[in-house]
Amino acid sequence: MTDRPFPQHAFTDELRREAGRLVSDLAESLGKAISEVDARPAMPVDPDAVLSALREPLPETGEGARAALERLLDLQARAGANTAGPRCFHFVIGGSTPAGQGADLIASAFDVVTYTWVLSPVGVRMELQALDWLKQLLGIPASMTGVMVTGATMANFVGLAAARQWWGEQLGFDVSAEGLSGKPQMPVISSGFIHASTLKVLAMQGIGRNAVQRCAVDATGQLDRKLFAERLRQLDGQPALVVVNAGEVNAGYFDPVAEMIEMARQHRCWVHLDGAFGLFAALSDRTKHLVAGLEGADSITVDGHKWLNVPYDSGYAFVRDHGLLARAFRYSADYLPTEDDPRPTPGAIGPESSRRGRSFAVWATLKAYGRDGHRRIVEHCLDLAQHFAAQVDAHPALERMADVPLNIVAFRFNPGGLEEAALDALNRQLGERMIEDGQFLLGTSKWGERTIFRPAFSNWRTRFEDVEALAVRIVECGNALRNESAVS
Ligand SMILES: Cc1ncc(COP(=O)(O)O)c(C=O)c1O
């Protein structure tokens, strides 16, 4: 036995003495931080200057919970990016509904573990209920098995793991047992819209990024139907994976979902549908045509921390065949639940064994706001995108680069008189300037060959005045950059 036993009583005393105060003080600061999210800049100026405090040696004796948590809150307030705020349009970042946020705090407070029913009957049953609700919300067949994961990357991982398992079984072997050594490469066919995370998954699963046959008419990535049909034909009866993209990240475009699925169905293909944010088009009569036919997919990816507006991290995979998931992710040992245990074990049908209580936030937001509330969040964002597109169209120094089918607006700063290459360089520089400026968070990408901005609107908090201010600020920063380069 150690001569310095762990002072358990100190933690217990700290909790007894401080828990109430900690919670009430923290609740006050946290409540303020959450309710004042609208007022904070998207990115504080020079956060790394504040964060030099994070380069200190490990404390030999700690400062106690109160001091540590106060320090943490202070650093977050002064140096945190305001990704929950109304002016974060980078990547595809959703907000958090009040119910989702509250439920997530509860899940953390109770340290909920949803590996299996025995660890959290509430969390596990709530996951099944929430997944059922998501199917009803999005038009996913009730017969599909769902599993919660960290995000769309891991949902793609689940979908592709099921596809790979199916593909192996079609060829007469069990991938999860035998691996891929000495086996042929699984063909993967998609448009040019295939998301980077799917390539990452192909790398992680030993299929390889290079397996993808992209059928695109041009550098924007839009489907080349003839080439797609040709690639399918060339399979010559061999099993393959087709990835259909419902919502790409540069302009919010969609593959022709129903058409691709129908074409793939004429061949021996598994169809994976990546609808990380685009599947929410199903909620609105204005956009549901974009995902018509989704029920024909074999596996489907949906993200929650994007357009469902639940806190990070939260994603969902839906797969046609439960058995494939059970075989792909088998997780068994003498001390673990058996496969025939009637009590559910989500940790045995997905990649993560230990899992946090993600279901709390999903269940709570759907319970609190229902289909109608979430439809209104989606339609609010559709309106924001159209409103911003109108600002772009109305300004002589801004140029819209694509249609706006959903919630992303591809545009660039174009003051006139510059060649394409110079415009690309200017917009890249302007992207850096916007991050330094910190009023908005947004990034650049490419639409075809051209450099663009691509603000994505997926947060209930964003107001019309925010998107109007974005158009004004981009032009101010763009003009300032131009003036500086004219002077130097
Ligand atoms: C279409 C698509 N798929 C997958 C992903 C990856 O999502 P996550 O970051 O939640 O893993 C994204 C993220 O933007 C996406 O837009």
Q: Is residue 424 within 8 Å of 265, Cβ to Cβ?
A: no
Distance 220 CA to ligand 1 centre (A): 18
Overall average pLDDT of the 462-467 stretch? 97
With a 6 Å cutoff on the Cβ, whether 249 touches ligand 1 is yes
Distance 22 CA to ligand 1 centre (A): 36
Q: What is the pLDDT of residue 383?
A: 98
30-77 pLDDT, tens digit per residue, is: 777 777 888 889 999 999 999 998 999 999 999 988 889 889 989 998
DSSP conformational letter for 488: -
190-238 pLDDT, tens digit per residue, is: 999 999 999 999 999 999 999 999 999 999 999 999 999 999 999 999 9
Q: Is residue 319 within 8 Å of 158, Cβ to Cβ?
A: yes
Distance 193 CA to ligand 1 centre (A): 12
How big, in percent rounded to 5, are the helix, strand and coil portions of the chain?
A: 50, 10, 40
pLDDT at 446 over 80: yes
Model confidence band, residue 183 (pLDDT cutoffs 50, 70, 90):
very high
Residues 6 or more apart whose Cβ sits within 8 Å of residue 346: 114, 115, 116, 124, 127, 147, 148, 355
Closest atom of ligand 1 to CA, residue 151: 10
Distance 317 CA to ligand 1 centre (A): 12
Q: Is residue 316 within 8 Å of 148, Cβ to Cβ?
A: yes
Reading phi first (left if > 0) and then psi (alpha if -120 to 50, else beta), residue 110 is in alpha
Mutation test of ligand 1: which of 148, 195, 300 has the most ligand atoms closer than 8 Å to its C-beta?
A: 195
The residues that bridge with 450 in the sheet, in sequence order, are 447
pTM for the structure as a whole: 0.97
Could you count the other beta carbons within 10 Å of the beta carbon of residue 38? 14
Q: Is residue 89 within 8 Å of 456, Cβ to Cβ?
A: yes
With a 6 Å cutoff on the Cβ, whether 91 touches ligand 1 is yes
Closest atom of ligand 1 to CA, residue 278: 1
Half-sphere exposure of 26 (CA within 13 A, CB side): 17
Mutation test of ligand 1: which of 303, 305, 316 has the most ligand atoms closer than 8 Å to its C-beta?
A: 303
Distance 197 CA to ligand 1 centre (A): 6
Strand pairing category for 444-447 and 450-453 = antiparallel
With a 6 Å cutoff on the Cβ, whether 277 touches ligand 1 is yes
Name which residue sits closest to atom 14 of ligand 1, judged by CA: 92
Helix ranges (H only) for 319-463 are 322-328, 358-394, 420-437
Name which residue sits closest to atom 3 of ligand 1, judged by CA: 276
Q: Share the mean pLDDT of the chain.
A: 95
pLDDT at 6 over 90: no
Residues 153 and 157: their CA atoms lie apart, in Å, by 6
Model confidence band, residue 485 (pLDDT cutoffs 50, 70, 90):
confident
101-369 topology per CATH: Aspartate Aminotransferase; domain 2 (3.40.640)
Could you count the other beta carbons within 10 Å of the beta carbon of residue 367? 14
Per the document, the length of the chain is 488
Residues 197 and 21: their CA atoms lie apart, in Å, by 43
Q: What is the pLDDT of residue 359?
A: 98
pLDDT at 413 over 90: yes
With a 6 Å cutoff on the Cβ, whether 252 touches ligand 1 is no
Radius of gyration of the chain (CA): 24
Q: According to the CATH classification, is domain 370-487 in 3.40.50.300?
A: no
